[in-house]
Homo-oligomer: A and B are copies of this chain.
C-alpha cells in the first residue's frame, strides 16, 4: 500500500516557489532568505527546487521578471492607462497605497525598490533587469505626461524629467516610510506633487 501520493504539477510547483520567493525577498530581502526556508514555505523538496531553479540566482531573476515587473505594471502602468490625466492617476496611486499601508501593521516598502537596492550591488544581470523595470515605469509615466501636453491639459512641462521626479519621490518616500514605519512621508509627497502638478495643469 503506497501512502505517498505524488502528483506531478510543474507549473503549480514553480508558481508556489516563485510566490514564496517574491514574498520573502520583498519583505525580508534576497540575501536574508535561505533556500531551505523557501522550500518549507512552498512545501517542495530539495529535488523539486533544484529541478526548477538550479541556483538561487535563477530564482531571483525569475522573481524580478515575473513578479516585480508585474507589480509595477499593476500598481502604476495600468492606473495610468485608466485615468484621464497623469496627476489624477498619481494622486490615486498614492492614496491607494497610503490607505493600504495605514491598516497594515508593517510597511515593507516598494518591491522594485527593495530588490533593486540589494541586488544591483553584486549581480549585473539582476541589476539590468530591475533597471529595465524602472525604464518601463518611466516610459509609461513620461508618455502620459506627453499625452497631457498634446491634449492641452498641461503646459510648460518636461515629460521625461518630471516623470523621473515623480518616480524618485515615490521611491524615496517609500524608503522613508519603511525606515520610520510611518506613512507620513507618503502623505507629504502626495500633497507636494499634487500642488506642483496643479500649477502646470489647467483645471476645468
Distance of A23 from chain B, by nearest CB (Å) = 13
CB-defined contacts of A78 to chain B, threshold 8 Å:
none
**Which of A2-10, A52-60, A110-118 lies at the interface with chain B?**
A110-118
Q: How many residues belonging to A are interface residues under a CB distance threshold of 8 Å?
A: 48
CB-defined contacts of A168 to chain B, threshold 8 Å:
168-173, 175-176, 185, 188-189
Task: Report A's interface with B, CB cutoff 8 A.
Answer: 27-29, 31-32, 108-109, 113-114, 116-118, 120-122, 127, 130-131, 134-135, 158, 160-162, 164-165, 167-173, 175-176, 178-181, 184-185, 188-189, 191-193, 196, 199
Q: How many copies does the complex hold?
A: 2
The one of B109, B165, B167, B189 that contacts A117, using a Cβ cutoff of 8 Å: B109
